[in-house]
């Protein structure tokens, strides 16, 4: 197989430039993933580099999986032992090997997610009597303090509160062998600094290092790569300064210049051919981004010349803007497009509400990116906590989560006494149950819990991993507790069944006995994020902020609410911030493959008041000949919000319809959302709680899609 076949000249040069530092500035849709994976395959098959000597890091598990899948197809080799992963997964894997060198932490550390981290902060603040302050704000400050090297708190009182909470927070993590996401990179760097021989070991191990989305690296991530690549300097970074949009997470666009300064012999390669969008869309994107100074000049071009000019629509009102989008979706689906071909993009989440309302009204299926992920659901987190205690009886954090899930009448005072016993015996809460001799309410339940869990642990090697879940459900009383809530039972048990599928796959993917496989899976699950779930097969319209869809593409894209104060954001006060907003605009434009619609409105009901809006300055920066203004003379498509098969002239929702005859507590059925419970009524409008993933919806009670059960 000719690995270089199908590559353009610049892509081929990037693949074949194997020695020394290389920086590839890869524009949107220029095939950077193809270049990265081909380069790895080239190193292995053409140069004979062992796969274990190559490190490739990216920012999402989804991107890492795609790279592995492509390499497997190219070379027909097993990739599960390759070091191709996110920054956090790489650090987690390395720390599982070396963490004993950073006492008091051990290799059996547990990684906590944002929700767990926030709970720890809440508990500390409650203990310290700091209830007047917002725990989420303090947790964010703790995270920023770890990720931003130049982070300062200007408010003296807030700084004082942070100092108190942060000290106790870090101490709690150490005492319980816990790491949050931020700690993974921090502890890896700390490990290298305190143990030079360990750093040297991995410098020799990784002869070739590749970094994806380099423009999104923060200072810590850059330092990590710099340390690892210092010996051989065969470091290959791919990024796009046009798409640096994550400064709020600590990303440093300055790392691009820093790299070229630190690695003086850097070879710069530009990928300027776009394989995604039409020429017309790219020309509009170029016209926007050229207003940013101090960037590596490149001019994206496409061979897809048979396209239409992007469309611009200036609406009379936010209702008019929404209906314009609905009309276009109806028009294009009638012409053969599917719902999955559409994305509605906005700068701020609050913009989605009006679109959601009308998509529901016109029975158009949709999904919002960045919603609650599968692994963030309570029942899944509970099951994982049970599995963690089975795999590691030293995991006090997971033990505390499940000891009263379901309720066992084990109160705080008993847990406090058990903690004292654990400290006295220098062991974990779970193991200290055996030596706990005091009586009192809940002790028998505590002993019984340990007996049940010991029984499950003794069967780990005798049953399949997915059967462990069945044992947990039946032996602990968890499923019986779920059954008490009839409305949510089916959905929650369905989620747990899906978790069993994950465990079944783990049995085939990981090596070793069941306990080893379980430990490896739990470590990987800790690193899952909201963006890792594959929903590409769902036939629905996507609603999203620009940040959530970076790296994705759609046939038809709507960029809505392009107004001053919304986009660019009203929070932008410096030229640097405006430049990043402009890069966000560039990212939005370049998500579109065939058709791009840009819209704004004359007035918008915003934050409880009617506001008159000004078009975004970015629209003014666009050359008028590069888009088609359809604001004048636009003829609305005739659509019927009730019957999808017939179309009549659309009017605003009637206010004369008969009021819905619903009361709080009524059970209803919705054609799209299934069964739900009425929790509030307000005239014709009812608020209904549906099962996940739909959640709380406000609906017109008189709508024919709704019926009372």
Residues tagged active-site: 32-33, 212-213, 243, 591
For residue 345, give both structure tokens: 């993009």
Residues 6 or more apart in contact with residue 69 via CB below 8 angstroms = none
Q: Could you tell me which of 606, 592, 6, 698 has the C-alpha nearest to residue 277?
A: 592
Chain Cα centroid distance, residue 582: 22
How many residues in the chain? 709
For residue 692, give both structure tokens: 């996940």
Chain Cα centroid distance, residue 496: 21
Q: Yes or no: say if 362 and 638 are a contact pair by the CB < 8 Å rule.
A: no
Question: What phi-psi label fits residue 507: left (phi over 0), alpha (psi between -120 and 50 degrees) or beta?
Answer: alpha
Calpha distance 493→62 (Å, rounded):
26
Evaluated on CA atoms 98, 102, 103, 107, the torsion sign reads negative
Q: Could you tell me which of 469, 543, 529 has the C-alpha nearest to residue 499?
A: 469
Q: Is residue 693 reached through a cis peptide bond, with omega within 30 degrees of 0 on the bond before it? A: yes
Q: How far is CA 594 from CA 249, 313, 599, in A?
A: 31, 17, 17
Question: Largest Cα–Cα distance of the chain, in whole Å?
Answer: 83
Q: Yes or no: say if 284 and 310 are a contact pair by the CB < 8 Å rule.
A: yes
Calpha distance 76→118 (Å, rounded):
44
Calpha distance 61→59 (Å, rounded):
7
Q: Yes or no: say if 183 and 173 are a contact pair by the CB < 8 Å rule.
A: yes
Q: Yes or no: say if 557 and 285 are a contact pair by the CB < 8 Å rule.
A: no
What are phi and psi for residue 154, nearest 5 degrees? -85, -25
Q: Is residue 406 reached through a cis peptide bond, with omega within 30 degrees of 0 on the bond before it? A: yes
Q: Is residue 453 reached through a cis peptide bond, with omega within 30 degrees of 0 on the bond before it? A: no
For residue 77, give both structure tokens: 């080799």
For residue 140, give both structure tokens: 């964010």
Calpha distance 500→566 (Å, rounded):
43
For residue 183, give both structure tokens: 């700690």
Q: Yes or no: say if 405 and 478 are a contact pair by the CB < 8 Å rule.
A: yes
Q: Yes or no: say if 141 and 123 are a contact pair by the CB < 8 Å rule.
A: no
Calpha distance 539→561 (Å, rounded):
25
The H-or-E segment that residue 39 falls in is: helix 32-45
Instruction: Count other Cβ atoms within 10 Å, centred on residue 5.
Output: 8
């Amino acid at each position: 197989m000719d690995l270089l076949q199908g590559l353009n000249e610049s892509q081929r040069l990037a693949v074949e430039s194997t020695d020394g530092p290389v920086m590839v500035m890869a524009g949107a849709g220029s095939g950077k993933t193809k270049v990265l994976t081909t380069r790895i395959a080239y190193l292995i098959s053409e140069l004979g580099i062992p796969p274990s000597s190559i490190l490739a890091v990216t920012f999402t598990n989804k991107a890492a999986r795609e790279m592995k899948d492509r390499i497997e197809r190219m070379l027909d080799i097993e990739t599960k032992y390759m070091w191709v992963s996110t920054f956090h997964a790489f650090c987690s894997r390395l720390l599982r090997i070396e963490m004993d060198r950073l006492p008091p932490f051990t290799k059996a550390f547990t990684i906590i997610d944002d929700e767990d981290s926030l709970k720890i902060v809440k508990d500390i603040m409650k203990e310290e009597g700091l209830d007047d302050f917002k725990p989420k704000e303090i947790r964010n400050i703790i995270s920023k303090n770890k990720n931003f090297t130049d982070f300062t708190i200007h408010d003296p009182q807030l700084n004082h509160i942070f100092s108190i909470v942060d000290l106790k927070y870090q101490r709690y993590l150490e005492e319980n062998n816990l790491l949050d996401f931020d700690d993974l990179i921090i502890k890896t760097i700390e490990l290298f600094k305190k143990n030079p021989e360990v750093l040297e070991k991995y410098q020799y191990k990784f002869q070739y290092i590749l970094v994806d989305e380099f423009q999104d690296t923060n200072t810590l991530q850059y330092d990590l790569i710099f340390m690892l690549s210092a010996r051989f300097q065969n470091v290959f970074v791919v990024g796009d300064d046009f798409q640096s949009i994550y400064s709020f997470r600590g990303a440093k666009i300055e790392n691009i210049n820093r790299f070229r300064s630190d690695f003086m012999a850097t070879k710069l390669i530009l990928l300027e051919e776009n394989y995604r969008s039409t020429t017309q869309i790219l020309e509009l994107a170029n016209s926007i981004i050229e207003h940013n100074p101090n960037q590596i000049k490149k001019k994206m071009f496409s061979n897809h010349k048979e396209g239409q000019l992007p469309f611009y629509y200036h609406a009379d009102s936010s209702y008019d803007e929404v209906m314009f989008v609905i009309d276009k979706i109806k028009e294009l689906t009638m012409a053969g497009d599917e719902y999955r071909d559409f994305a509605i993009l906005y700068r701020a989440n609050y913009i989605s509400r009006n679109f959601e309302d009308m998509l529901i009204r016109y029975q158009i299926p949709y999904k919002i990116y960045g919603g609650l992920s599968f692994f963030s659901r309570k029942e899944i987190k509970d099951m994982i906590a049970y599995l963690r205690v089975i795999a590691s009886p030293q995991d006090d954090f997971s033990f505390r989560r499940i000891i009263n899930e379901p309720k066992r009448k084990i109160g705080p005072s008993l847990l406090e006494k058990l903690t004292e016993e654990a400290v006295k015996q220098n062991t974990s809460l779970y193991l200290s149950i055996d030596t706990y001799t005091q009586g009192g309410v809940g002790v028998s339940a505590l002993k019984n819990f340990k007996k049940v869990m010991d029984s499950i642990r003794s069967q780990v090697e005798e049953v399949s991993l997915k059967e462990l879940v069945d044992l947990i459900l039946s032996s602990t009383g968890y499923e019986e507790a779920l059954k008490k809530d009839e409305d949510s039972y089916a959905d929650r048990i369905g989620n747990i069944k899906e978790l069993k599928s994950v465990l079944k796959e783990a049995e085939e993917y990981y090596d070793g006995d069941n306990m080893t496989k379980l430990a490896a899976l739990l470590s990987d699950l800790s690193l899952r994020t909201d963006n890792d779930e594959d929903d590409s097969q769902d036939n629905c319209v996507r609603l999203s902020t620009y940040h959530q869809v970076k790296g994705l593409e759609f046939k038809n894209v709507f960029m809505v609410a392009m107004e001053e104060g919304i986009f660019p954001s009203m929070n932008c006060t410096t030229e640097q911030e405006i430049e990043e907003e402009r890069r966000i605009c560039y990212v939005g434009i370049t998500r579109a493959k065939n058709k791009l619609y840009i819209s704004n409105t004359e007035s918008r009901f915003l934050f409880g008041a009617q506001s008159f809006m000004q078009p975004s300055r970015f629209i003014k920066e666009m050359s008028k000949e590069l888009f088609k203004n359809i604001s004048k003379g636009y003829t609305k498509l005739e659509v019927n919000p009730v019957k999808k098969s017939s179309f009549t002239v659309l009017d605003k929702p009637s206010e004369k319809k008969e009021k819905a005859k619903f009361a709080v507590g009524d059970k209803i059925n919705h054609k799209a959302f299934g069964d739900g419970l009425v929790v509030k009524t307000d005239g014709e409008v009812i608020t209904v709680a549906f099962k996940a993933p739909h959640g709380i919806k406000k609906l017109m009670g008189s709508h024919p899609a709704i019926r009372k059960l």
